[in-house]
A and B are shown apart, each in its own frame.
Chain A
């Protein structure tokens, strides 16, 4: 026979231990040691039927531990003290005589510890710990329901094996469902499998390649791509937001190839931004041209001042960036040939055209090319060249195209004239949302332009004829206004809830706190008080929601009272039968009075109202 109790205890210890192991590397050994000692003592108490420490004492101890945390925690060092505190609390939990809720608390704290470990490092062992805890908790919770029914319940080996097998199916079945719920559904706003098709042709928007001649028409997509909060006003038309650069052109398509250079940014006005990027499915992060720095751990700055994230961006990311508005990039150590590359089989007409546009010096050539393109071609998203030689088709037949054609043509024309040029993809133009005081960049503002390398500097040129970016905005001012308000709400939501920035929030708190106290510690106590109140409030609400019906509550009260007198009702005993057992006459009569009153309501299936409830309570008090 296998005792459920033993199994539950065993699993609980495993879960607690795994929670501990997941963070053991990061916490102070003193805490590790204390935890292990408490675990051991708890284990001895549980398995050797030893005595338990009184709950009150342990609760006071827990309180002290939490207060101790309040003193130690700081903005710079949040996670480790919290993890250490949780570890101590877990240890204390193991010391207690364990009831149903204590097991639950053990599981919750262990899960918190594991979550804490994920904040400290991402490691594949996390998955191992996670699965141990996940399965452990599911199995244990179900066994606990048996245990709470009957403390001495046991199963024979075969039944137990079947039971465990069946229970294990629950988490196994839960995994795909969980994956669906937690990873797919929240993103349904963004097409579910869009990352399989991130180049997103046929729609305006940023993509990490520039390809010509494949689609004849591009639809405008006004979904939000970026939200930018800046410390300075931006020009609504002529703000360029830089994404990536592309240097290798095969005649149809631009790639990033062999980019090495060392660069720094010069000139311009410093603009600080806080940018929220909607999921793009690729790795590149954006900032106002010319980006200097992006404050994000998992981002690498490449020589051409493109910021590459280590992970593809499948969820909203938020970061701070610094740019030089109107500055330029000073680069050295670059291989000029990489920026002079031309597609093989270049149309002779293009070469001829390039020669025609050559000026006295490089700058003049650039100006000539840009002017030529701007004057002689017009911008369109419709009726684009679809051909194997899109550039010739654009330059000599259609004479119209989107920014990709202009930029590609510009780059090719300049390269023929031996001027190193590269394509830059990003966004041009911003919309100001005065409701939330931030800028929105919709997908259709995606844009491509060129950067030209002259005298060791990369300078931005935009060969696309300037079409007012806001031409489609504000057709209906009221709807536009409503949209802005809605987006501002979303922005606030993203800012405060989705992208939970603890540091920033605490900083806000601290700012408010400083105004009142100027004493940091007091402020932290304040926070803890606040958090405690919120938790208590939530608990209270939860309890109210899951409260027992009045009947059960009253009955439990009565039985508890009788237990104080040394009478415990057996499960198979009726109330009158139970009361009949009482030896003391007075007590029996009082108890009977309650029982009769209670039965009158309970077995008549009457709903107990507040008055009945009070009456019954008063009888119980009288006992």
Chain B
């Protein structure tokens, strides 16, 4: 799965230094970022999620904000509040951390549902409304949310319908022995990471995002995507299949993937290789199969779909 677009290769090269052995996660994050989507990382703490988020914001020269979700986090802690200014005798809006280009929401499942939905709404609408005033979020806007799969006590797992709002759900996983050895040898590179010089600016990011939209999507590929949607909707294993948002996601990420690979048209592989990250969190397993491994089940169903050509 080689990346051929030079700019992207360059970014990957630089960031790889900070994320040894996590090139795949990095690539997927960038695909999500350039596809104007949001990313959900389900992983244990301490595996480099922050590094990933900070790295992306730094290298693209975008602002970075971080929200640590706790059970007493309020929606206004995310969106910001209006504060009365005595001098001007007016309410002034103090934007919250969400008014950044890259936002890391750590352990989103620890926040209360109310807060979660405020965040997800902001992600979906790309705007927030406080005290009747609507404020546009900056562009580009990229949320990386993390979720701890192990801790269940006092958490509020994201409902399935909310998961749909994340373009991809990935997990970083432990690095390989070799990679970890390098990490130990090199010591912490956090300082270096914060000092990272941007390789592109906001306008360039937007330009790339526009170029990605221009990637050609053949009817044959559309049929393939529709086949995928169809099979998840009809399968006896699932009670709910892929949403329209889901199919759109598949297409958008595929375009980005093709772009990364230096192509201006989509091939089935672009779609196929991202399916494990784009589809499983969007389908709801049938009661009978609730105990089986959802991801495996979804992938085994998708595996059988014939590829055009």
Check if A and B associate. yes
- Please determine whether B220 and A574 come into contact, CB atoms closer than 8 angstroms: no
Interfacial residues of chain B within 241-276, with CB under 8 A of chain A in the complex: 263, 265-269, 272
Q: Which residues of B contact A584 (CB under 8 A)?
A: none
Q: Give the interface segment out of B77-85, B278-286, B298-306.
A: B298-306
| Known contacts A571-B307, A572-B306, A572-B307; A604/B269 CB under 8 A | no
- Please determine whether B216 and A555 come into contact, CB atoms closer than 8 angstroms: no
B265 touches which of A571, A573, A577, A604 (Cβ 8 Å)? A604
The residue in B221, B265, B272, B303 that gathers the most chain A C-beta atoms within 10 A of its C-beta is: B265
CB nearest to B306 among chain A residues:
A571
Q: Which residues of A contact B221 (CB under 8 A)?
A: 603
A563-576 contact mask (Cβ, 8 Å, vs B): 1 or 0: 00000000111111
- Please determine whether A603 and B269 come into contact, CB atoms closer than 8 angstroms: no
- CB of B102 to closest CB in A, whole Å: 32
- CB of B274 to closest CB in A, whole Å: 12
Q: Which residues of A contact B303 (CB under 8 A)?
A: 572
- Please determine whether A603 and B304 come into contact, CB atoms closer than 8 angstroms: no
- Please determine whether B218 and A574 come into contact, CB atoms closer than 8 angstroms: no
B309 beta carbon closer than 8 Å to chain A = yes
- CB of A563 to closest CB in B, whole Å: 16
CB nearest to B307 among chain A residues:
A574
B219 beta carbon closer than 8 Å to chain A = yes
The residue in B220, B221, B266, B267 that gathers the most chain A C-beta atoms within 10 A of its C-beta is: B267
A573 to B269, CA, bound (A): 8
- CB of A159 to closest CB in B, whole Å: 15
A598 to B218, CA, bound (A): 14
A572 touches which of B216, B218, B263, B305 (Cβ 8 Å)? B305
| Known contacts A603-B216, A603-B220; A574/B267 CB under 8 A | yes
- CB of A50 to closest CB in B, whole Å: 32
- Please determine whether B218 and A604 come into contact, CB atoms closer than 8 angstroms: yes
A602 beta carbon closer than 8 Å to chain B = yes
A599 touches which of B219, B267, B305 (Cβ 8 Å)? B267
Q: Which residues of A contact B306 (CB under 8 A)?
A: 571-572
| Known contacts A555-B309, A577-B272, A605-B218; A572/B304 CB under 8 A | yes
- CB of A367 to closest CB in B, whole Å: 91
- Please determine whether A603 and B305 come into contact, CB atoms closer than 8 angstroms: no
- Please determine whether A602 and B216 come into contact, CB atoms closer than 8 angstroms: no
Interfacial residues of chain A within 190-207, with CB under 8 A of chain B in the complex: none
| Known contacts A555-B309, A602-B309; A575/B219 CB under 8 A | no
- Please determine whether B216 and A577 come into contact, CB atoms closer than 8 angstroms: no
Tell me the number of A-to-B contacts counted with CB atoms below 8 Å: 47
What is the size category of the interface that chain B forms with chain A?
10 to 19
- Please determine whether B267 and A604 come into contact, CB atoms closer than 8 angstroms: no
The residue in A555, A572, A574, A576 that gathers the most chain B C-beta atoms within 10 A of its C-beta is: A574
B267 touches which of A551, A571, A575 (Cβ 8 Å)? A575
A605 to B266, CA, bound (A): 11
Q: Which residues of A contact B266 (CB under 8 A)?
A: 603
A551 to B220, CA, bound (A): 13
- CB of B305 to closest CB in A, whole Å: 6
Q: Which residues of B contact A598 (CB under 8 A)?
A: 309
Q: Which residues of A contact B305 (CB under 8 A)?
A: 572
- CB of A581 to closest CB in B, whole Å: 12
Q: Which residues of B contact A599 (CB under 8 A)?
A: 263, 265, 267
A575 to B270, CA, bound (A): 11
Interfacial residues of chain A within 249-284, with CB under 8 A of chain B in the complex: none
CB nearest to A595 among chain B residues:
B267
Q: Which residues of A contact B220 (CB under 8 A)?
A: 602-603, 605
Interfacial residues of chain B within 201-250, with CB under 8 A of chain A in the complex: 216, 218-221
Q: Which residues of A contact B267 (CB under 8 A)?
A: 574-576, 599, 603
- Please determine whether B269 and A574 come into contact, CB atoms closer than 8 angstroms: yes
A574 to B267, CA, bound (A): 8
- CB of B1 to closest CB in A, whole Å: 9
A599 to B304, CA, bound (A): 22
A385-419 contact mask (Cβ, 8 Å, vs B): 1 or 0: 00000000000000000000000000000000000
The residue in B220, B266, B269 that gathers the most chain A C-beta atoms within 10 A of its C-beta is: B269
A555 to B307, CA, bound (A): 13
A571 to B309, CA, bound (A): 9
A600 to B220, CA, bound (A): 13
CB nearest to B270 among chain A residues:
A574
Interface residues in chain B, defined as those with a beta carbon under 8 Å from any beta carbon in chain A:
216, 218-221, 263, 265-269, 272, 303-307, 309
Q: 12 other contacts beyond A573-B307, A574-B272, A603-B267, with CB at 8 A cut-off?
A: A571-B306, A571-B307, A572-B304, A575-B269, A575-B307, A599-B263, A600-B265, A602-B218, A603-B218, A603-B266, A603-B309, A605-B218
Between A and B, 16 residue pairs with Cβ closer than 8 Å are A572-B303, A572-B305, A572-B306, A574-B269, A576-B269, A577-B272, A598-B309, A599-B267, A600-B265, A603-B216, A603-B218, A603-B220, A603-B221, A603-B265, A603-B267, A604-B218
- List 8 tightest A-B contacts by C-beta distance, closest first: A574-B269, A571-B306, A574-B268, A603-B218, A603-B265, A605-B218, A576-B269, A574-B307
